[in-house]
Chain A
Amino acid sequence: MLKIKNLHAKVGDNEILNGLNLEVKPGELHAIMGPNGSGKSTLAAVLAGREAYEVTDGMVELDGTDLLDLEASDRAREGVFLAFQYPIEIPGVSNLNFMKAAVNAKRAHQGQPPIKAKDFLAKVKECSSLVELDGKLRDRSVNEGFSGGEKKRNEIFQMAILEPKLCVLDETDSGLDIDALRVVSKGVNAMRSKDRAFIVITHYQRLLDHIIPDFVHVLSNGRIVKSGGKELALELEDKGYDWIKEEQNA
């Protein structure tokens, strides 16, 4: 589904990604771990098409489409979803109107008519129960006055509504207490399917106790330096990242 080859990217004069390679197949869940500053969030931003990040080399393909050629909104319509590490507040815009605009943008892209109110509300009901998002939060302005945990649940809610092909979760576990972590994980797990792929970026093993990855990759200095199964995460939890750096230098 997703092919990343020799990806180089920079912000300003800082080279952050240095030849990153990754292939993700439908149904797979890849965890990306690594120390601070290794380029994890940059990878998420580059995939989503954030303007401040300049791709200097390499390619990214989603089902054969050159992703780097598309505007951020077109990438989203093609099925790329980014769950933000710090979800953005949009005062005065209700969560539901926001989602309806997003759903209809995607439908228009696919040549479909706008969603019927009844169908939309049914979808909203289904998805909000998935992450235990109550009615009040749905009707409030996008993320305005939400707690950290509510914001993250709202991200997963939006992800469920939009039914993306590729879900990129950028440190979705940061700032979550145990209960919220469980709720968010439950939502993610419910969405796993043979047609959908996930890239889960995290610092900590604890998220991966709830969301079991198929692959774990370690990112260091802007490239993947070690890959393995879910055991790799446990090893990292145990030993930290230094041993990988030493391995690299050896």
Chain B
Amino acid sequence: MKGTEEENLLSEVTEKNYEYGFTTEIESDTIAPGLDESVIRTISKKKNEPDWLLEWRLEAFAAWTKMEEPEWAHVAYEKPDLQSISFYSAPKQKKELASLDEVDPELLKTMDKLGISVEEQKKLSGVAVDFVMDSVSVATSFKETLGELGVIFCSLGEAIQEHPELVRKYIGTVVPQRDNYYAALNSAVFTDGSFCYIPKGVRCPMELSTYFRINQAGTGQFERTLIVADEGSYVSYLEGCTAPQRDENQLHAAVVEIISHDEAEVKYSTVQNWYPGDKDGKGGVFNFVTKRGICHRSAKISWTQVETGSAVTWKYPSCILKGDDSIGEFFSVAVTNNKQQADTGTKMIHLGRRTRSTIISKGISSGESQNSYRGLVQIHPGAENARNFSVCDSLLMTDRCGAHTFPYIEAKTPTAQIEHEATTSKIGEDQIFYCQQRGIEEEEAIGLIVKGYAKDVLNKLPMEFAVEAQKLLTISLEGSVG
């Protein structure tokens, strides 16, 4: 990292507040709180959806009404009152947007504050950005460049209008409507999200990026992302999340589905910084997310996540290794501070022969937070010579926090090779003193030590994200040793 970046980092460390905690004054089109069939019909109608999708939503809703909110995760929270949430909130737009110039200036300002000025990104970094605020996607840049290669990158809503056959073919194939309580809810009420299709043999020349932001009070965000990488293609996809500071809990229940066809590769990187609540645990986002990908023959999916936000996180980006010789990877840094709770990990389902998976999970707990790794490595009878390697490390910053590891391993073939390593350590006073003796202040010393600890994962992130992630790590651990 360059000196100047470290400087910036240091100055940002002194800002003690959640820095994305602003709201944007944009008139929103929000429907009344509550959930019943008519709400779903309203959403579907507002979005001008085809009948099959309405049916699909209603099936999900019917399944959901018979489901119970899961309680097996190592988290405790007051269950959100779904009847008090508005399930649709769209920034009001009068007409279709032809270019960025037509985007509401307030919205552009929001993007600026987030440091993701679309204009700048266009020029400097070649990242195409899809920006989802509350539930609706507002701007996608670089569409033309991508269009020439046949890459489709747009909001899911747009894809439903423009490419219904693709959406219909793939939606719900990796995360079925009735997969779990929150996935079912999402299937019933999702309002937008991102869609990405990479045609056969195309290597997507730029990183595709979506920023999610919950803005409107009392709304939930239920976005749905669908990524299809056709045979032999490659894409790197980035997802960033922020939310304003609010006293009440906000619900985020997303679904991400990835289909990686034969010999395709998808890298999915997340920096999650939803508002974590204040130091007493008031407010914050409930982040209940289902992320799953399927790998066909010789395909690969890598999940990399840096999780620093949310009051409660419940998230297990997973890979179904269906095709022979396919590869699944999961690299995670999860930081919890104050009263945050995170229960996160992955599932690697080995079905094909010679399938391989790698899991590197680095938990960092501070304050009175609870941080759990929960992982499943499942090797099915046909998965001959499958291999898994897992490392689950936990770093404790205080005596009041908790780190928990729940690794589940099911091997049903004798030729499987599974390795699992786990460590738990307390941040060393010796290490901090050693840094201090070299002139490095305690806060910065902790930042250095933690970044070093998480390096194996941070290195997997694309450059722009790595810098942001390092900042977030430092900021979210301020004043945390004790």
User: Contact residues of A with B, CB < 8 Å?
Assistant: 48-51, 71-73, 76-77, 81-82, 84, 87-93, 97-102, 104-106, 109, 114-115, 117, 141, 158, 162
Given contacts A102-B438, A114-B3, contact A72 B433 (CB under 8 A): yes
Contact of A82 among B429, B430, B437 (CB under 8 A): B437
Q: Does B451 contact A (CB under 8 A)?
A: yes
B448 touches A105 (CB 8 A): no
Pairs A-B, 4 closest by C-beta atoms? A92-B452, A93-B452, A76-B439, A92-B455
B436 touches A88 (CB 8 A): no
Instruction: Give chain B residues whose Cβ lies under 8 Å from the Cβ of A76.
Output: 436-439
Q: Which of B417-444 contact A (CB under 8 A)?
A: 428-431, 433-442, 444
Instruction: Give chain B residues whose Cβ lies under 8 Å from the Cβ of A92.
Output: 451-456
Instruction: Give chain B residues whose Cβ lies under 8 Å from the Cβ of A114.
Output: 3-4, 6-7
Q: From residue B448, how far is it (CB to closest CB) to chain A in Å?
A: 5
Contact of A104 among B6, B429, B452 (CB under 8 A): B6
In the bound complex, CA of A106 to CA of B439 (Å):
6
B436 touches A109 (CB 8 A): no
Q: Mark B1-33, 1 if CB is under 8 A from A, else 0.
A: 111101100000000000000000000000000
B437 touches A101 (CB 8 A): no
Instruction: Give chain A residues whose Cβ lies under 8 Å from the Cβ of B442.
Output: 73
In the bound complex, CA of A43 to CA of B93 (Å):
71
Given contacts A97-B1, A102-B439, contact A87 B6 (CB under 8 A): no
In the bound complex, CA of A88 to CA of B438 (Å):
12
Contact of B439 among A87, A93, A105, A115 (CB under 8 A): A105
Q: Does B114 contact A (CB under 8 A)?
A: no
In the bound complex, CA of A51 to CA of B434 (Å):
12
Chain B residue nearest to A79 (CB atoms) is: B439
Q: From residue A108, how far is it (CB to closest CB) to chain B in Å?
A: 8
Q: From residue A144, how far is it (CB to closest CB) to chain B in Å?
A: 9
Which residue of A91, A99, A101, A117 has the most chain B CB atoms within 10 A of its CB atom?
A: A101
Q: Does B449 contact A (CB under 8 A)?
A: yes
Chain A residue nearest to B443 (CB atoms) is: A73
Instruction: Give chain B residues whose Cβ lies under 8 Å from the Cβ of A117.
Output: 2-3
Given contacts A97-B1, A100-B3, A114-B3, contact A162 B439 (CB under 8 A): yes
Instruction: Give chain B residues whose Cβ lies under 8 Å from the Cβ of A90.
Output: 431, 434-435, 448-449, 452
In the bound complex, CA of A109 to CA of B431 (Å):
22
Given A84-B437, A100-B3, 16 new contacts (CB under 8 A): A49-B437, A72-B433, A76-B439, A90-B431, A91-B452, A92-B456, A97-B1, A97-B448, A99-B438, A101-B444, A102-B439, A102-B440, A106-B439, A114-B3, A141-B452, A162-B439
In the bound complex, CA of A202 to CA of B1 (Å):
39
Q: From residue B455, how far is it (CB to closest CB) to chain A in Å?
A: 4
In the bound complex, CA of A97 to CA of B455 (Å):
13
In the bound complex, CA of A105 to CA of B438 (Å):
9
Q: From residue A233, how far is it (CB to closest CB) to chain B in Å?
A: 27
In the bound complex, CA of A97 to CA of B440 (Å):
12
Contact of B434 among A88, A105, A115 (CB under 8 A): A88
Q: How many of chain B's residues have a CB under 8 angstroms from any CB in A?
A: 29
B428 touches A88 (CB 8 A): yes
19 pairs, CB–CB < 8 Å, chain A vs chain B: A51-B429, A73-B441, A76-B436, A77-B439, A82-B437, A84-B437, A88-B428, A88-B430, A88-B431, A90-B434, A91-B452, A91-B453, A93-B449, A98-B435, A98-B438, A101-B438, A101-B440, A101-B448, A104-B7
A73 touches B3 (CB 8 A): no
Chain B residue nearest to A48 (CB atoms) is: B437
Q: From residue A80, how far is it (CB to closest CB) to chain B in Å?
A: 8
Instruction: Give chain A residues whose Cβ lies under 8 Å from the Cβ of B454.
Output: 92
Chain B residue nearest to A50 (CB atoms) is: B433
Chain B residue nearest to A80 (CB atoms) is: B437
Instruction: Give chain A residues whose Cβ lies under 8 Å from the Cβ of B1.
Output: 97
Instruction: Give chain A residues whose Cβ lies under 8 Å from the Cβ of B430.
Output: 88
Instruction: Give chain B residues whose Cβ lies under 8 Å from the Cβ of A141.
Output: 452
Which residue of A49, A76, A92 has the most chain B CB atoms within 10 A of its CB atom?
A: A92
In the bound complex, CA of A98 to CA of B455 (Å):
14
In the bound complex, CA of A146 to CA of B429 (Å):
20
Q: From residue A36, how far is it (CB to closest CB) to chain B in Å?
A: 21
Q: From residue A166, how far is it (CB to closest CB) to chain B in Å?
A: 12
Q: Which of B171-201 contact A (CB under 8 A)?
A: none
Which residue of B430, B451, B453 has the most chain A CB atoms within 10 A of its CB atom?
A: B430
Chain B residue nearest to A109 (CB atoms) is: B439
B434 touches A87 (CB 8 A): yes
Q: Which of B391-439 contact A (CB under 8 A)?
A: 428-431, 433-439
Chain A residue nearest to B362 (CB atoms) is: A92
B439 touches A73 (CB 8 A): yes
Q: From residue A48, how far is it (CB to closest CB) to chain B in Å?
A: 5
B448 touches A93 (CB 8 A): yes
Q: From residue A85, how far is it (CB to closest CB) to chain B in Å?
A: 12
Instruction: Give chain B residues whose Cβ lies under 8 Å from the Cβ of A89.
Output: 431
Instruction: Give chain A residues whose Cβ lies under 8 Å from the Cβ of B448.
Output: 90, 93, 97-98, 101
Q: From residue A174, how far is it (CB to closest CB) to chain B in Å?
A: 17
Instruction: Give chain B residues whose Cβ lies under 8 Å from the Cβ of A82.
Output: 437
In the bound complex, CA of A27 to CA of B452 (Å):
38
Q: From residue A112, how far is it (CB to closest CB) to chain B in Å?
A: 12
Instruction: Give chain A residues whose Cβ lies under 8 Å from the Cβ of B433.
Output: 48, 50-51, 72, 88
Which residue of B3, B433, B437, B439 has the most chain A CB atoms within 10 A of its CB atom?
A: B439
In the bound complex, CA of A81 to CA of B438 (Å):
7
Q: From residue A55, how far is it (CB to closest CB) to chain B in Å?
A: 16
Given contacts A84-B434, A93-B451, A98-B448, contact A105 B441 (CB under 8 A): yes
B440 touches A105 (CB 8 A): yes
In the bound complex, CA of A101 to CA of B6 (Å):
8
Instruction: Give chain B residues whose Cβ lies under 8 Å from the Cβ of A115.
Output: 3
In the bound complex, CA of A81 to CA of B437 (Å):
7
